[in-house]
Structure 1
Amino acid sequence: GYGIGMPLGSVYRDEFDLAILKLQEDNRLEILKRKWWDGGKCPKEEDHRAKGLGMENIGGIFVVLVCGLLVAIFMAVLEFVWMLKQTPGNEQSMCEEMLQELHGIVLCRDSLQVRRRRPATMLRPRPLPLE
């Protein structure tokens, strides 16, 4: 049977008992039981493994990567040209200087800017007079 727990001597006990009996007689409790407990089964699935990601799922990552790479290359070239303009002693054309700089980078040498900024002779410190 059905019931609702209440304290001893509750004034609502008889009213709830009568309401439950009426619901049982009208077959409402059986209808609710079938609705909530019998029919809610999940369908069986054979394959529980995770599905792999395809290009349609991760294609956007490559678009962002390529865009970032293009922006980085553009900024590097822009900085490179700006540094060549700032460096004193520009006797050569811009293209020649860029090729020389690129050649120095490939051979892991100092850049032209560093070589041009160094003084021609190293100054040696004078010894302090002893008194």
Structure 2
Amino acid sequence: MMRTVVAGILEREGRVLVGQRARPAWAAGQWEFPGGKVEGGETLAEALAREWREELGAEVEVWGEVYRRELDTPAGAFTLVALRVHLLAGEPRPLEHRALAWVAPADLTRLPLLASNVPIAAALTAPA
């Protein structure tokens, strides 16, 4: 069974939230859309809400899917799914990230994004 990783897209005033990874060493300093692994028995929405609670101290409601792709990386194969989230309670805080930033989608490519997250940034700026 292929692992699934979820990433959350939170928008506010034309900007999206990204977090700077603190670990593992190969990813430290790179930016990502916050999320994490789907555990056994969880839906994508449950996993993403749990990850945001654990990593950002924020309660979110998960909305629609933005992006999905199967990836083969040095860490193994997995499916990456990006979903829009809506903030219900709590202001996101960097509990597990070095820093958080609100970035206009067009400016995301100026950051050192995790390679797996680059196409998500492209999907956010693609014409509807």
More helix by share: 1
The structure with higher relative contact order (CA 8 Å, sep 6+) is 2
Structure of higher CA gyration radius: 1
**TM-score normalised to structure 1 length:** 0.18
**TM-score normalised to structure 2 length:** 0.18
More strand by share: 2
